[in-house]
Every structure is written in C-alpha cells, then in structure tokens.
Structure 1
Amino acid sequence: MQNLDNLDKKILAELQKNAKISNLELAELVNLSPTPCARRVKQLEDNGFITGYFAKTNPQKFGYQLSVFIAISMDRHTAERFENFENAVKEFPEVVSCSIVTGRSEDYLIKAMVRDMAHYEEFLLHRLNRIEGIAQVHTSFELREVFSRSLI
C-alpha cells in the first residue's frame, strides 16, 4: 500500500461505503477541510488507487436468481486457445467475472448470474460449451454469499 496514510485509507473506506457522497460530507467524515479532501481524492485517482465509480446493482431485481461458479479446463494450453476463450466469454452478459487460476486442475474460474436452471442449461449447452478448446466444465451453485468487500 504505497504512499497511503491513515487519512487516505479513511477516504477510501468512506468512498467504498458510498461513492455518491459529496466532497463536503466526505471531508467532514474524515475530519479534513473540503479543499485538501478533494485534492487527496484526485491524487488517489491519479495514482490508480481509485479506478472508477459505479452503482452496485441487485441481480435479483433483474431476475437473476442463481449465482454460478464454473471451473473450466482447456484442452490445450496455448496463447491462441486462451485468447479465443477469453474473448468469447467476455461477450456473455451472464458472466460477471472470469479469472485464470492455479492450484487446481481447471484453468479458469467464472462467476455467472442466471435466472434459473433452464437459463443455466441454455447458457452452458448452447453458448459456453460451444467455445472451441473447452475440455471440461465443473459447476457449483452458490447457496448464499456470506459477504463481499473491497480490501480497504
């Protein structure tokens, strides 16, 4: 955590709780005057500690009731195979994250949101499994997310 003091950490923690907070409110919460507070936020943005602001949405409100973890093994470990897979999976709106992983037999771990089992079946059989190079797929359904948080 290069060059972050306790005040920067407090600013980051408050922005993660509410990214829509005004600079005046933020300054009050971290016991700083507004101008230096705005300057610190700008510096955090410029130095890459803050990479963006977004609205966190509720997938259930959009009809996405099931959260699915999908572990994928590729048939060959070539740059072309991996690039092709990654480009294809980015196009699926159901996929909310995709990571290359180590320490297991699978190569990728995907998190996807689907409406129901029929939606998952359509996604798996008619789209995901049609990506060239997939050798094996292992699915786990999330029962309940215990918590999700950022590092600061």
Structure 2
Amino acid sequence: MKEIDRIDRKILRAVQDDGRLSNLELAEKISLSPTATAERLKRLNRDGYITGYTARLSPERLDRGMLVFVEVKLDKTTPDIFDAFARAVQKSDDVMECHMVAGGFDYLVKARVKGMEAYRAFLAEVILSLPGVRETHTYAVMEEVKNTGKIPV
C-alpha cells in the first residue's frame, strides 16, 4: 500500500466535504488533471482510505428526532456473550452505532427514535432483551452541538 501524499490528502478532504463531486469538479478543486485525479481516487478507494459514500439524511424529517446514548453493562463478559450481544444489536434498525468500550460499562449504543414513547419501547423491546444485559444508563440528547463524520486529513 502506497503512502498518501499532499495531493491525496487534498482529494480526501474534498470528497469528505462533498462526496458528490464529479471527477472534473474534483480535479479543478485540487488543481490536477481529470485523468490523474481519477487514478488517485481509484487508488484511494482500492487501498481502503475511502470506505464508502453516503447521503446524510434529516432525522427530524424522517421521524427520528430523538437521539439517545445508552451505556450497557453485561452480567458476564465472556466471548460467547460478547458475540451474542454483537449479533443481536446488528438486527436493530434503531441502533446507529454500538461500541465495545473499556471502563465502567461494556457497550455504548447510539440510537435514533421518534420520541420518548418510542424510546421506552426501544429500551424494553431491544436493549433489555439483548443477551446478557444487566444494567443500562440512558442519556437523551437535548441539543446536538456538533455532529460530523469528518476525520482530520
């Protein structure tokens, strides 16, 4: 895998800002020929620097305006419980992210639901029914101060 240079970083910043740029627009933005830009972009994709392209949707417009973070403690921390928990959480459309963490709890779950009533149902039907869940602590987001998926390049 080839190291990335200054121009590759410019490409990554540009597509991270706008993944819908045409090759010609991208080439103009980074001051490189369209052919060279296309080759570099192809390599960045192939080498795994770019893992995909998505559209950011409005949670409010799609009735998913409530954002919650849930700390989950498991009753046992064994490989089979971790595997069962991971498989089960993958099935929930409400769960946006789930991370195994080090510290005072085992998993941090990020979910989007319609509102408090939907959250109560999500907690009862999804989170508390997951394998091995012993305890949860929920943090409802009152205001999103910053929400970005951008990685410094």
Tell me the TM-score range normalised by the shorter chain.
Answer: over 0.9
Q: 1:10-89 alignment to 2 at 5 Å?
A: 10-89=10-89
* Structure 2 counterpart of 1:143: 142
* Structure 2 counterpart of 1:129: 128
Q: 1:87-126 alignment to 2 at 5 Å?
A: 87-102=87-102, 104-126=103-125
Deviation digits for residues 127-147 of structure 1, max 9, x if unmatched?
220122101101001122222
d(CA) in 1 for partners of 2:99, 2:30: 35
d(CA) in 1 for partners of 2:126, 2:71: 15
Report the secondary structure of 2:26's partner residue.
helix
Unaligned ranges ≥5, structure 2: none
Report the secondary structure of 1:130's partner residue.
coil
d(CA) in 2 for partners of 1:28, 1:127: 48
Checking the alignment, whether the CA contact within 8 Å between 2:99 and 2:109 is kept in structure 1 is yes
Deviation digits for residues 101-136 of structure 1, max 9, x if unmatched?
11x211000100010000000010122201221011
Unaligned ranges ≥5, structure 1: none
User: Which structure 1 residue ranges, 4+ long, deviate > 6 Å from structure 2?
Assistant: none
Quote the offset at 1:4 in angstroms.
1.6
Normalising by structure 1, we get a TM-score of: 0.95
d(CA) in 2 for partners of 1:8, 1:48: 13
The one-letter amino acid paired with 2:78 is T
Normalising by structure 2, we get a TM-score of: 0.94
Report the secondary structure of 1:72's partner residue.
strand
d(CA) in 2 for partners of 1:91, 1:70: 17
Report the secondary structure of 2:96's partner residue.
strand
Checking the alignment, whether the CA contact within 8 Å between 2:88 and 2:131 is kept in structure 1 is no
Report the secondary structure of 2:10's partner residue.
helix
Quote the offset at 1:18 in angstroms.
1.1
